[in-house]
């Protein structure tokens, strides 16, 4: 099992975005049930963000609700929370003032129910020296015991190489799925392997696309801003359904769901062929989906190679994010 902050964590983690950052969030009771199911299934690396939701209902307030109800799970779960952005514009601001504002806000909203284990800037601020930002985090929050450590989010290989000069990096949260194998080719995974940094692989089921439950692009409107992403527009969506079809066929052969196959493939890459530890962090807002997603399927060498061949040869239509959105920062 992988270790973070000297503690063993599960082979799978858990993404919290869907609970609070969509037009119609699920009821709190449903959220708490799903989160409890994640703990019971060993999905104990939880990933949220300061901006996932409103000032009144977000990742931190949700976590406060959970650990107030289940204090026995405080030591079982490792929480990673991104921040560092202007909450009105979502523009990254790595200044010392905003770094303190973000961390103080996250810690305050947790309400003392659990220490913040790890913090990252959701996107690197190119206008502020990274060393300056990391120094504030280290000296004022990690060294004083307010924070466990720092991680990176949506980062480039260059940022990883620079960050390790100034801080111990606990993990890198980057996108990885059959739709998005980019980090296997752009140096990010290699940089993490070089420095012994685990990867938290977000969107391992392609923001739900690889479940096979979506047949029309309009169905993504329930997810809010995600529906504006290029690969979910009608023309691109039709092309991308061809990959979904291939995944469905493979899943049928393995006797599992497409989501289970997609997650298990990402997990199968962990420490394979020189890659670092990889912990998929799929999101799910119901206990039933958590149970489905946390069932890892054993893949043979032949399975892994066959999937990799499909992934490497399939031409995905549409970008990961809308034009202008900061990526690989």
Q: Which of 14, 52, 141, 151 is catalytic?
A: 52
Phi/psi of residue 117, each to 5°? -75, -40
How many other C-beta atoms can be found within 10 angstroms of the C-beta atom of residue 215? 10
Helix H or strand E segment including 119 = strand 116-121
Beta-carbon contacts of 47 under 8 Å, excluding residues fewer than 6 positions away, are 13, 14, 15, 16, 79, 80, 81, 82, 173, 200, 202, 281
Pairing relationship of beta strands 199-202 and 278-280 according to DSSP bridges = parallel
| Interatomic CA distance for residues 303 and 309, integer angstroms | 10
| Interatomic CA distance for residues 77 and 39, integer angstroms | 7
| Interatomic CA distance for residues 254 and 302, integer angstroms | 12
How many other C-beta atoms can be found within 10 angstroms of the C-beta atom of residue 219? 14
Helices (H), the chain: 17-20, 28-40, 59-69, 96-110, 130-137, 157-163, 188-195, 234-254, 258-268, 287-293, 301-313
| Interatomic CA distance for residues 133 and 129, integer angstroms | 7
SS3 39: helix
Active site residue 57: no
Helix H or strand E segment including 47 = strand 45-49
- Measure CA 51 to chain center: 14
Matching residue, tokens 């606990």: 170
Give the side-chain half-sphere CA count within 13 A for 45.
Answer: 30
Active-site residues: which are they? 52
């Amino acid at each position: 099992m992988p270790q973070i902050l000297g503690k063993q964590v599960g082979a799978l983690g858990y993404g919290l975005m869907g609970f609070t950052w969509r037009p119609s969030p699920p009821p709190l009771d449903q959220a708490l049930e799903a989160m409890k199911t994640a703990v019971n299934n060993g999905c104990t690396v939880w990933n949220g963000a300061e901006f996932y939701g409103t000032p009144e209902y977000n990742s931190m307030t949700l976590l406060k609700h959970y650990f107030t109800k289940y204090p026995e799970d405080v030591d079982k779960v490792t929480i990673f929370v991104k921040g560092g952005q202007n909450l009105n514009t979502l523009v990254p601001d790595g200044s010392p003032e905003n770094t303190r504002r973000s961390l103080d806000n996250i810690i305050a909203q947790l309400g003392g129910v659990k220490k913040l284990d790890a913090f990252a800037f959701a996107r690197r601020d190119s206008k502020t020296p990274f060393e300056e930002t990391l120094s504030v985090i280290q000296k004022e929050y990690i060294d004083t015991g307010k924070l466990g450590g720092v991680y990176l989010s949506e980062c480039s290989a260059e940022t990883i190489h620079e960050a390790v000069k100034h801080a111990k990096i606990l993990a890198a949260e980057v996108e990885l799925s059959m739709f998005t194998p980019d980090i296997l080719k752009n140096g990010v995974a290699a940089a993490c392997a070089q420095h012994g940094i685990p990867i938290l692989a977000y969107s391992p089921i392609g923001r739900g696309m690889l479940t096979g439950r979506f047949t029309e692009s309009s169905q993504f409107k329930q997810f809010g801003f995600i529906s504006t992403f290029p690969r979910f527009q009608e023309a691109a969506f039709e092309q991308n359904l061809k990959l979904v079809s291939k995944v469905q066929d493979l899943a049928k052969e393995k006797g599992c769901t497409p989501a289970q196959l997609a997650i298990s493939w990402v997990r199968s890459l962990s420490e394979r062929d020189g890659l670092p530890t990889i912990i998929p962090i799929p999101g799910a807002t119901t206990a039933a989906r958590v149970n489905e997603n946390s069932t890892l399927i054993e893949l043979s060498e032949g399975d892994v190679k066959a999937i990799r061949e499909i992934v490497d040869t399939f031409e995905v239509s549409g970008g990961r994010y809308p034009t202008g959105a900061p990526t690989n920062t």
